[in-house]
Amino acid sequence: MEEIRRLKRELVAKGAIIDYYQDTMQIPNGNVAKWDLIDHKGAAAVVAVREDGKLLMVRQYRNALERETIELPAGGLNGREEPTGVAALRELQEETGYISDSAELLTSIYTTVAFCNEKIDIYLAKDLRPGVQHLDEDEYINVEVYSVDELKEMIFTGKIQDAKTICGVLAYAAKYNI
């Protein structure tokens, strides 16, 4: 494959969660193209499995979709250097109130490779203990519990459409033959 070169990168807008850049690219046929890039510091999600085998999920309103969603507990890194396993366990406690001492990496995903570099590492947490939920000021989250079969049904009927949740639940189910 011939080389594609970036000629220039310009910051268009700096946001609280993402930065938007426009890249000027030289493509192999000699043309110059403008490509958008959304730069994201990264995130972590957690498949939190209770002793009875059911998974903790969070229901919350998502502005981009203008509706509530059912998702894995997840959130952005506090900085690019933060270990994603630490972030996953932090988000587990903040969003659900549950604590775990270990996080096993299940899979990693890039959410939208055409224009965004957001990477989400998805972890498995077991041996959950009740703790205290610590929601951000702008968060309103309900914690719900589902079996893997219930979640798979919601995935395959389109009720769950969140990519990290689909990947996490199905990776967990495949790895453990559930």
Annotated active-site residue in 137, 144, 150, 153: 137
Contact predicate 171/122, CB 8 Å:
yes
2 is catalytic: no
Active site residues: 137
